[in-house]
A and B are shown apart, each in its own frame.
Chain A
Amino acid sequence: MKFEIEETVRRFAAKDLLPVIQQLDEYKPDIKLKEKVVSGIKNIGIINMPLPESLGGIEFDPAILGRVLEIIAETCAGTSFLLWAHYAALLPFILSKKYDPLKKIGDGQNLTGTGYVSEHSLKITKRGDAFEVSGTINFLWGMPGASFFVIAAKTSENGIFALIPSNAPGINVKEEHSKIGLRGCQSSSVVLNGVAVKSQDAAVMPIAEYEKVFNLSKGYALCLVGAIAAGNARGSIIRAVKYARERYQGCDIIINHTLIQGMVGDMLARAKAAGALVGDALQNFQEGGTNNLYLAKANATREGEKVCLDSMQVFGGYGYMREYGVEKHLRDSKMLCTIGESNMRILQRIVRENKDKEGWI
């Protein structure tokens, strides 16, 4: 099953995605093209994959989601990230097993955006059976374009994850961000002004449970960012090796130079080690643990950037030209480093939260 999914995703990446990655990499890519790509993702049946069968999914398999994102990221990290935003949005409902709000997400809908992983300041108040949300989300991934987006907020008594239709009254979507990378996934700042959320569209839970679900969802989502970084790094190595096999420097093809062999070897070691830590963390998550989720993200994105920097060096001057595509991997890798919070903050958080636990090292 896993093998079949991976093969299907590979075919999609090679056939449907590869020919359009340059257009997707414009500062503000054509929305119609993005819709076409999303429609391609829908056609191979991976959009609702993590949902239960009753909601049109297969089952929640943390490792396979990571593999799917990693494979797509080899070709286009931006598109992989667009899918990530959708998966990340679904996570709080899946992990808390409160599926009711997700019944709205049918095959005909666009993807769902994520508004809880990055910095946000939302205030939610109870209004009878419903809730009212106000505040700002600085980075709402998947917007504009998403049919729904997911937010997280707390009242004094409960924590709430809410699925909000993007056309609900009181929503002000600011101009789409112009970014260094991940341009295949749109993002924008969104202001919510007294947006009404019906109770059936929200997963409401006590604060303690909410905190647990929030941290699990964010940790797992960030680990998936690590998977994208590892895939993106591997994609850059594939391009560098292809170039080095074809082109000459001096009287020999580039890959035959010991300097390049050493560089590519180092890049492979970094990318594979980063991917392995992500794989370990996802496997552990599948078994109910939370080991290394944040560490895997910090490590994979940091190492991914180093790999992409070196991949460009293999190309020499050609690496700097957009036509060769390798510079896109670098820009995407840099943006991936910043997702959620800076890697330095993530590393500090890991130590802060675990310092008193036995055996965490």
Chain B
Amino acid sequence: MSLQKKIAGFIFDFIDKRRGMNEYVALPKKVKKSFLEVREWVKQEAQPMVDKIDAAPHDEVNLKWEILKKGAKINLLTMMLPGIYGGKSSMLDLLRYGSLTFLPFVEELSACSPGIATLFGAHYLGIMPIQFCMDVLLGRRLLKPIVEAERAGNPKLVAFAITEPGAGSDVEDTEGGEKAHLGTFAKKVSGGYVLNGRKQFISDGNMASLVTVFACLDREKGIHSWTCFAVTSDMKGFSVGRVEDKMGQRASPAAELIFEDVFIPDKNLVGRENDGWRLNTLTLDTSRGPVGGIAIGAAKAALKQAIEFAEEKGLINDRSIQLELADMIGRFESARSLLWRSCGTFPPLEYLSAIAKFTASDTAMDICSRTIDLMGEEGGLRRRTVERLYRDVKLTQIYEGTNQINRLAVAEDYIIKKKREIL
């Protein structure tokens, strides 16, 4: 064999051996390292608690605090914050990688429990408006205590409050916001604002010590006067209403928040007056990818169960089963690729975030459903955790805008606003 052939063969072998080794190649080394830490944490700390949390009453919070405290040990509630606020990330990371750095974490948490992924994820959702309004001083004042509390072993949560009893999907996207029946208003007074109204289905709302709340300043202008405020749970007039009894994702509470003449000082204005709608859409467009990550993490776990079940029952050599599993894998990998593409840009593209979110959640629902089908009656039993994944994943088709609303967002971007041409 000639030397040329030998060298070429050596290089080919080297490349061939590296197949599949670079799944997270786009991520910085520090993220990869933290990700492995999270994976270990999930195995050691979260997994043993999942069934207990799922079976607990919907308004039980002790188990949730227990898992949060365990997460605090590896800084799960602050590691995504920029270093300027005390976290491990940076604004540069955000601009360079978008929400991509967040994706493997939610995927890993969700593969264990989509509810636990939402418990932690909703906290970052609450932080996003503070981070994105680019007011560093505000960020340091509001977020530093969160970091310090976590370091002290007593984690604090932040929640994001836009949904109202009469305005859910309306405020998620598209022209719905223009016509939304908004019922939370803030009035300018000397030294601050007075907030009145109710927010509903707020993830982590009953446990949060800080809530980013969106309210109208002007009834006539409606959504155009939407403004974001940082409300702390100790403010007079703030209270928690009912905590919802949900079908799934029971590790993450959804609560009603009530604001009765809550005085918010000027310094707690997040961004500028009337910037709320833009801040909201930037936040949601950024978080839709990670929501897709929650869905796809659960899909991964379901897929794993489907394959294990087929092997356990000796079905794996049946070509119809192989075809079924291959189709599920194909859908899973396609949705995951789309997620990585959508999360890799900042500021995110609205239509791409929406497509990634509804594709991932529809795919995950389909995979969980087919896994149960594959298992037959066993699949519906609690001891086969895919039934929990099925219940949990359903929420990813609903929150951050129902998948129908997300499809309308794509239509708006593609067809009405013609932001993108189909080539």
Residues 166-185 of chain A: 1 if any B CB is under 8 Å from the residue's CB, otherwise 0? Answer: 00000000000111111000
CA A171 to CA B197, docked complex, whole Å: 60
Residues 143-177 of chain B: 1 if any A CB is under 8 Å from the residue's CB, otherwise 0? Answer: 00000000000000000000100101110000010
Q: How far is the CB of A204 from the nearest CB of chain B, in Å?
A: 28
Contacts of A331-348 to chain B: CB distance below 8 A: 331, 334-335, 337-339, 341-345, 348
Cross-chain contact A259 with B408 (CB below 8 angstroms): yes
Q: How far is the CB of B310 from the nearest CB of chain A, in Å?
A: 12
Verify if B359 is at the interface (C-beta below 8 Å from A): no
Chain B residues in 8 Å Cβ range of A319: 398
Verify if A274 is at the interface (C-beta below 8 Å from B): no
Stretch from B2-10, B84-92, B244-252, B412-420 forming part of the interface with A = B244-252
CA A305 to CA B373, docked complex, whole Å: 11
Verify if B329 is at the interface (C-beta below 8 Å from A): no
Cross-chain contact B247 with A316 (CB below 8 angstroms): no
Q: How far is the CB of B329 from the nearest CB of chain A, in Å?
A: 16
Verify if A49 is at the interface (C-beta below 8 Å from B): no
Cross-chain contact A248 with B181 (CB below 8 angstroms): yes
Contacts of B356-406 to chain A: CB distance below 8 A: 365, 369, 372-383, 387, 390-391, 394-395, 397-399, 402-404
Q: Classify chain B: how many residues form its interface, as a range.
A: 35 or more
CA A321 to CA B373, docked complex, whole Å: 24
Cross-chain contact A180 with B387 (CB below 8 angstroms): yes
CA A139 to CA B201, docked complex, whole Å: 37
CA A259 to CA B201, docked complex, whole Å: 24
Verify if B307 is at the interface (C-beta below 8 Å from A): no
* Residue in B166, B377, B399 whose beta carbon sits within 8 Å of that of A338 in the complex: B377
* Residue in A179, A249, A312 whose beta carbon sits within 8 Å of that of B394 in the complex: A312
Verify if A153 is at the interface (C-beta below 8 Å from B): no
Q: How far is the CB of A78 from the nearest CB of chain B, in Å?
A: 12
Total contacts A-B at CB 8 Å: 117
Cross-chain contact B320 with A249 (CB below 8 angstroms): no
Cross-chain contact B200 with A317 (CB below 8 angstroms): yes
Chain A residues in 8 Å Cβ range of B365: 309
Cross-chain contact A312 with B380 (CB below 8 angstroms): no
Cross-chain contact A178 with B245 (CB below 8 angstroms): no
Chain A residues in 8 Å Cβ range of B382: 27, 177-180
Cross-chain contact B387 with A250 (CB below 8 angstroms): no
* Residue in B168, B170, B373, B398 whose beta carbon sits within 8 Å of that of A344 in the complex: B373
Cross-chain contact B201 with A317 (CB below 8 angstroms): yes
CA A338 to CA B381, docked complex, whole Å: 11
* Residue in A259, A316, A334 whose beta carbon sits within 8 Å of that of B390 in the complex: A334
Q: How far is the CB of B72 from the nearest CB of chain A, in Å?
A: 28
Q: How far is the CB of B250 from the nearest CB of chain A, in Å?
A: 11
Cross-chain contact A330 with B394 (CB below 8 angstroms): yes
CA A323 to CA B244, docked complex, whole Å: 8
Verify if A16 is at the interface (C-beta below 8 Å from B): no
Verify if A201 is at the interface (C-beta below 8 Å from B): no
Cross-chain contact A320 with B381 (CB below 8 angstroms): no
Q: How far is the CB of B224 from the nearest CB of chain A, in Å?
A: 15
Verify if A138 is at the interface (C-beta below 8 Å from B): yes
Most buried by A among B179, B373, B374, B398: B373
Cross-chain contact B180 with A180 (CB below 8 angstroms): no
Verify if B324 is at the interface (C-beta below 8 Å from A): yes
Verify if A245 is at the interface (C-beta below 8 Å from B): no
Cross-chain contact B379 with A338 (CB below 8 angstroms): yes
Cross-chain contact B372 with A338 (CB below 8 angstroms): yes
Verify if A322 is at the interface (C-beta below 8 Å from B): yes
Cross-chain contact B380 with A317 (CB below 8 angstroms): no
* Residue in B180, B390, B399, B403 whose beta carbon sits within 8 Å of that of A250 in the complex: B180
Q: How far is the CB of A110 from the nearest CB of chain B, in Å?
A: 22
Q: Identify the closest chain A residue to B244 (Cβ).
A: A321
Cross-chain contact A179 with B168 (CB below 8 angstroms): no
CA A179 to CA B404, docked complex, whole Å: 29
Interface size on A, residues (CB 8 A): 43
* Residue in A138, A139, A316, A348 whose beta carbon sits within 8 Å of that of B168 in the complex: A316
Verify if A263 is at the interface (C-beta below 8 Å from B): yes
Chain B residues in 8 Å Cβ range of A322: 245-247
Cross-chain contact A321 with B245 (CB below 8 angstroms): yes
Chain B residues in 8 Å Cβ range of A1: none
Chain B residues in 8 Å Cβ range of A309: 365, 394, 397
Cross-chain contact B372 with A313 (CB below 8 angstroms): no
Cross-chain contact A338 with B380 (CB below 8 angstroms): yes
Chain A residues in 8 Å Cβ range of B383: 178
Verify if A303 is at the interface (C-beta below 8 Å from B): no
Cross-chain contact B246 with A338 (CB below 8 angstroms): no
Q: How far is the CB of A137 from the nearest CB of chain B, in Å?
A: 11
Residues 306-326 of chain B: 1 if any A CB is under 8 Å from the residue's CB, otherwise 0? Answer: 000000000000001000100
Q: How far is the CB of A241 from the nearest CB of chain B, in Å?
A: 16
Verify if A107 is at the interface (C-beta below 8 Å from B): no
Verify if A158 is at the interface (C-beta below 8 Å from B): no
Cross-chain contact B245 with A338 (CB below 8 angstroms): no
Tell whether A338 pairs with B404 under 8 Å between CB atoms, given A181-B380, A312-B398. Answer: no
Verify if A251 is at the interface (C-beta below 8 Å from B): yes
* Residue in A119, A179, A339 whose beta carbon sits within 8 Å of that of B387 in the complex: A179
Verify if A327 is at the interface (C-beta below 8 Å from B): yes
Cross-chain contact A180 with B391 (CB below 8 angstroms): yes
Chain B residues in 8 Å Cβ range of A181: 380
Cross-chain contact A344 with B320 (CB below 8 angstroms): yes
Cross-chain contact A320 with B398 (CB below 8 angstroms): yes
Cross-chain contact A321 with B170 (CB below 8 angstroms): no
Cross-chain contact A334 with B168 (CB below 8 angstroms): no
Chain B residues in 8 Å Cβ range of A263: 404
CA A182 to CA B247, docked complex, whole Å: 14
Cross-chain contact B395 with A320 (CB below 8 angstroms): yes
Q: How far is the CB of B262 from the nearest CB of chain A, in Å?
A: 23
Chain A residues in 8 Å Cβ range of B168: 316-318
Given contacts A317-B163, A327-B247, A344-B324, 12 further A-B contacts (CB under 8 A): A139-B377, A177-B382, A250-B179, A313-B404, A316-B398, A317-B200, A317-B398, A320-B248, A321-B246, A322-B247, A342-B373, A345-B376
- What 9 pairs across the A-B complex have the smallest Cβ distances? A250-B179, A178-B382, A180-B387, A327-B247, A335-B380, A322-B245, A251-B179, A180-B380, A316-B168
What are 10 A-B interface contacts by the 8 Å CB criterion? A180-B390, A181-B380, A305-B369, A309-B397, A312-B398, A317-B201, A317-B399, A321-B247, A322-B247, A338-B376
